[in-house]
Amino acid sequence: MGRLRVAVIGFGFWGRNHVRVFNELSESEVVAVCDMNPERAESAGEEFGVNFYTDSLEMFRREGVDAVSVCVWSTNLADEALKALKAGKHVLVEKPMARSSEEARIIIEEAAARRLLLTVGFIERFNPAVQDLKGLIDDGEIGSIVSASAKRVSRWPERIGDVGVVKDTAIHDIDMMRYIFGDDPVAVYANVGNLKYTRFEDYAQIMLTFKDGRTAFIEANWLTPYKTRRLTVTGSKAIASIDYITQEVRVDTERQTVMPRRRWEEPLKNELLAFLCCILEGREPRVTGMDGFKALRIAEAALESSAKQKIVRLD
C-alpha cells in the first residue's frame, strides 16, 4: 500500500484535527496546509513543519497533492471542493458539503466527470458504536425498526458563524437516520427557532417519516449547558441505544439488558483512514457525495417545513 500526499484546506478547530490525524496515519503525508488567514496558515506551517498557503489554487500549482480535506466555513465548502476537484485531487469535504443541495449536485457531477473520489464528512458513520448498532439491525437482533430518536445538544460552538443548528448539527442525525433505516424519508415536519442567537436558528425538532409509517425524531440545539449525543432505535424485538461520546451500546429485550464492552476508537481517525484506503484501493467510500446531497436536501426541507408550518414531501 502506498502513501498519499495530503493537503488540508482550513486550519480552524476541525482542520487542525485533520492535520493531526493525517500525520498519525502511515498511509498519508501532510505536505501543505491552506487557510485564508495568513497568521493561522503560518501557525499551521510552523506547528506541523509543512508548507503553508492562503490561496488553495497557488497550493495546487506548487505542491504535488493527491488528496485534500476541505474544512473551511460551510458557505465556502463547495468553492474549495470544486477547486480541488478541478485540480485533479480526491476530496473529503466536511458537512454540510455546500450552501445548497444544488451546489452539492454540481460537486458530485464534477467528481464523476473527472473520476475522482468524493466523500462527505459524516463522522458518526465511523463511530464504533454506530457500526455495532448497524450490525444489530442488519442481523435482525432488534427486529423490524419501528422508530428512532436522536438528541444532539450542547452550548453554542464558537467556531460556527455561517449556518444554523440544522445544517451544522442536526444534519449528522439526518444522515444517520437514512443510514440505519436503509432508506430515504418520504416527508419532513420541523419546528426551528432561535432563543439566544439572532442570526441563525439555535434549536430544532425534526420529524422524518419513512415508508410504512416508520418515524424518526431529531432534537438539536445550541442552548443546553452540557453536551449530549445519543441515538435510540426501537425495534419489534428490542430497544437499542448508543452514546456517541462514550461509544457505549445498550440493548434492552424482554428478558435482559446487555451492554457489550468494546475498545474506544477515534471516529475521525477511522474516517480519514477509510478515505485514504478507498483512494489507494479504488473502492467506493462509505459516505458518497449523493449521501451528502440527500442529507442537505432533507435539511433544506426541514427549514422549509418550519418556515411554512407544514409537512414537506420529499421526491
pLDDT at position 143 is 97
What integer is the mean pLDDT of 221-248?
Answer: 97
Q: Looking at the structure, tell me whether residues 166 and 219 fall in a common domain.
A: yes
pLDDT at position 160 is 61
Q: Looking at the structure, tell me whether residues 19 and 153 fall in a common domain.
A: no
Q: Looking at the structure, tell me whether residues 104 and 69 fall in a common domain.
A: yes
* Contact status, residue 96 vs residue 171, Cβ threshold 8 Å: yes
Q: pTM of the predicted model, to two decimals?
A: 0.95
In a domain, 161, yes or no: yes
pLDDT at position 197 is 77
pLDDT at position 258 is 94
Question: Quick one: what percent of the chain has pLDDT higher than 70?
Answer: 98
Q: Which domain CATH number covers 46?
A: 3.40.50.720
The DSSP secondary structure of 121-161, one letter per residue, reads E-GGGG-HHHHHHHHHHHTTTT-SEEEEEEEEEEEPPTT--
| Domain ranges, residue 167 | 124-264+297-313
In a domain, 9, yes or no: yes
Helix (H, G, I), strand (E, B) or coil at 84: helix
The contacts of residue 42 (CB under 8 Å, 6+ apart) are 52
Number of structural domains the chain divides into: 2
Q: Looking at the structure, tell me whether residues 193 and 57 fall in a common domain.
A: no
Q: pLDDT digits over 10-27, tens only?
A: 999 899 999 999 999 999
What integer is the mean pLDDT of 222-247?
Answer: 97
Mean pLDDT of the chain: 96
pLDDT at position 262 is 84
Contacts 24+ apart (CB under 8 A), 16-22: 16/44, 17/268, 18/69, 18/71, 18/268, 18/272, 19/44, 19/48, 19/50, 21/266, 21/268, 21/269, 21/272, 22/69, 22/272
Confidence of residue 156 (pLDDT cuts 50, 70, 90): confident
Identity of the highest mean pLDDT range in 83-87, 211-215, 258-262: 83-87
Our CA dihedral for 83, 168, 263, 180, rounded to 10 degrees, sits at -100
Question: Quick one: what percent of the chain has pLDDT higher than 90?
Answer: 93
Residue 271, pLDDT > 80, answer yes
pLDDT at position 114 is 98
pLDDT at position 144 is 96
Residue 1, pLDDT > 60, answer no
Helix (H, G, I), strand (E, B) or coil at 71: coil
Question: H helices of 63-120, where?
Answer: 77-86, 101-114
At which of 79, 100, 116 does a domain end?
116
Confidence of residue 151 (pLDDT cuts 50, 70, 90): very high
What integer is the mean pLDDT of 132-159?
Answer: 93
pLDDT at position 157 is 75
Q: Which domain CATH number covers 174?
A: 3.30.360.10
- Report the amino acid identity of residue 261: R
Q: If you search the block for the grid coordinates 476537484, which residue do you land on?
A: 85
Q: pLDDT digits over 166-180, tens only?
A: 999 999 999 999 999
Q: Looking at the structure, tell me whether residues 98 and 226 fall in a common domain.
A: no
Distance between CA atoms of 11 and 34, rounded to whole angstroms? 7
Cβ density class 211-237: b for 16+ within 10 Å, e for less: eeebbbbbbbbbbbeeeebbbbbbbee
Say if residue 168 is exposed, middle or buried (CB neighbours under 10 Å; 0-12, 13-18, 19+): buried
Distance between CA atoms of 222 and 153, rounded to whole angstroms? 6
The contacts of residue 245 (CB under 8 Å, 6+ apart) are 227, 229
